Structure 1
Amino acid sequence: MSLFKAPVGILYRLESLRSAFFRGVDIHDKKIVWTYWNKVLAGNENRGLGGGSFFALNRALLFKWIQRFLSNLDALWVRVIQAIYGNIGCLGHMILPKQSSVWVVILYAMLDLQKKGIDLFANCKKFIGNGVDYLFWTDVWIGDSTLKDRFPRLYALELNKNDSVVVKFGVILCFDSFRRPCLGGAEIEQAASLSSFLELINLNSFRDRWVWDLEVSGGFIVYSTSHWIDLIYLGSLLRLLYGWVVPIKVNMFCWRMFLDSYLLG
């Protein structure tokens, strides 16, 4: 569960065993089920019991390897992946390698989540430190977009497009590597805006690091990640308020109808 993508059939079997244990019946017994199992697994925000699904747990554990890949660039296994799949390990690519490997399967699992509207990468942000691991133009290290997209005219003038942030801050002017001086109009305006942005930045002695938006501490926690996946994956539930002026059988019928609970266990 912590390294391999669990097949759908295995997850369904595990949920069936857990459901039977929760209801206190044998798995082969055919007894009426008053609510779908997904409604037991859903969080309190969705009117569920907060059991959490094995699907979300498995995907959160898989994404933990991506978080480790981003945060431990000096690890041997990270360098092996970089040697095979490039420095960023094919992260964020919509077209992934054809060959099968543990790393590629993890990437495909995350891509499937994105297609379901669950983008874990959106909650993974890089925090600027000494600027060694950030590319000045093509990484999102200040604001919500890259400097390449924000200042396209300046990026077109740049000769060293793969310089890191610390390299750019090490020179007297970040415009020294341009192929020619900025001319009037848009180039001068973008140069002035970029200079204003850079005046607000102070690099620190600690290394650049990735932070996890779902936690105040910025550290990655499997529980909060799987809980967030379940919030989207299991959907929202309805709550039915009982009416005391109608017979109890009508109340029970409406409760089961709103919960779609007509399946037999």
Structure 2
Amino acid sequence: MVKWIVKFRNERSHLWAKVVMAIHSGGRSFTTIPIKNSISGVWKNIVQLGKGSSLKLSDVQNRLEVKMGCGDKIFFWLDKWVGDYSLKDRFPDLFAVQTDKFCLVQQRYSLTNGEIVWSWGGESPATHTDMAETWAECVKLLEGVKIEKKSDMWLWKQEDKQEVFKVSDLRSELDGMDLIPET
């Protein structure tokens, strides 16, 4: 399960990942690992595997960390890429009026004279005083982000280190778990 979730995050431009997004995203659920319980199939089975195992889906999402590149694999609002919270959780009023809640970081900035300019993505301009102030606060938070020319990479956090995900490392970790609690 973890392997496919990491692949999903790293291969968003691949056809299979686009199909998963098209089928399982939307509605009122805005998660980084989309799943519609009303639709059966392979993807649902992969994601559901984590719900009954000792390695829960929430643990997987918390252990995935991003190495920022150009913002081509990071959801602007949904992922934790600037600080400890997603922008959706940090700025819920801004998120509520966004037209594309699954937009990527790359879709929300442009480079102008070597400077990063962040763009608003709501249905109407952020001109309302409260909304403009909140957007300005969000942009201030984003000022510290460093954009690089390479692609983003999702890494697996193990103890104090981050590294490219390898099934063998996870297998070793799972083999070392005590699945039956001692009494």
Counterpart position of 1:64 = 3
- Of 189, 196, 199, 2:140 maps to 196
Give 1:92 deviation, angstroms.
5.4
| SS of equivalent residue, structure 1 residue 211 | strand
- Of 24, 37, 43, 1:96 maps to 37
Rounded Cα–Cα distance in structure 2 between residues aligned with 1:127 and 1:142: 11
TM-score where L is the length of structure 1 = 0.50
CA contact (8 A) 1:132 1:164 kept: yes
Correspondence list, 1:101-112, <5 A: 101=42, 103-112=43-52
1:168 aligns with 2:108: yes
Give 1:212 deviation, angstroms.
0.5
CA contact (8 A) 1:129 1:207 kept: yes
- Of 157, 160, 163, 1:213 maps to 157
Rounded Cα–Cα distance in structure 2 between residues aligned with 1:155 and 1:69: 23
RMSD after superposition: 3.8
- Gap change, CA 1:154 and 1:74, over 3 Å in 2: closer
Correspondence list, 1:237-248, <5 A: none
Q: Which amino acid aligns with 2:40?
A: Q
Rounded Cα–Cα distance in structure 2 between residues aligned with 1:66 and 1:86: 15
Q: Which amino acid aligns with 2:173?
A: W
CA contact (8 A) 2:74 2:81 kept: yes
Unaligned runs of 5+ in 1: 1-61, 238-259, 261-265
Percent of paired sites with the same residue: 24
Rounded Cα–Cα distance in structure 2 between residues aligned with 1:86 and 1:158: 16
Which is greater in Rg? Answer: 1
Higher strand share: 2
Give 1:162 deviation, angstroms.
4.5
- Gap change, CA 1:218 and 1:141, over 3 Å in 2: same
- Farther-moved stretch of structure 1 (215-224 vs 124-133): 215-224
Counterpart position of 2:114 = none
Structure with more contact order per residue of length (Cα contacts < 8 Å, sep ≥ 6): 1
Correspondence list, 1:226-265, <5 A: 226-234=171-179
Give 1:204 deviation, angstroms.
0.7
Give 1:155 deviation, angstroms.
3.2
Counterpart position of 1:147 = 87
Higher helix share: 1
Q: Which amino acid aligns with 1:99?
A: S
User: How far does the alpha carbon of each residue in 1:1-57 deviate from its partner, in whole angstroms, 9 at most, with x for none?
Assistant: xxxxxxxxxxxxxxxxxxxxxxxxxxxxxxxxxxxxxxxxxxxxxxxxxxxxxxxxx
Counterpart position of 2:70 = 130
Rounded Cα–Cα distance in structure 2 between residues aligned with 1:159 and 1:138: 14
| SS of equivalent residue, structure 2 residue 109 | helix
